[in-house]
């Protein structure tokens, strides 16, 4: 095989590897986006529960913001 054929097959292999990497990263990005959305929902629920059950002001409490 000539040099140009070798370069063509190398380029074709690299293209296939980049496409596989793109597909993998896209699927991982979707997973992380769904996870972040779920974590945000849980944080909102916890904050709402804390506000509902806690007094508005606690005197002399260092743990309370």
3-class DSSP string for 2-61? CHHHHHHHHHHHHHHHHHHHHHHHHHHHHHHHHHHHHHHHHHHHHHHHHHHHCCCCCCCC
Q: Is residue 44 part of a domain?
A: yes
Output the pLDDT for position 51: 85
61, part of any domain: no
The pTM score is 0.54
Please check whether residue 64 lies inside any domain of the structure.
no
* pLDDT tens per residue, range 38-47: 999 999 999 9
Residue-range definition of the domain harbouring residue 31: 17-52
Q: Could you say which residues of the chain have pLDDT below 70?
A: 1, 54-65
Whether 26 maps to a domain, the answer reads yes
Residue 35: inside a domain: yes
| Domain count across the chain | 1
């Amino acid at each position: 095989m000539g040099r140009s054929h070798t370069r063509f097959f190398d380029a074709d292999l690299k293209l296939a590897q980049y496409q596989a990497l793109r597909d993998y990263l896209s699927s991982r990005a979707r997973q992380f986006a769904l996870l972040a959305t779920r974590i945000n929902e849980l944080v909102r629920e916890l904050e709402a529960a804390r506000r509902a059950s806690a007094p508005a002001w606690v005197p002399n409490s260092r743990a309370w913001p």
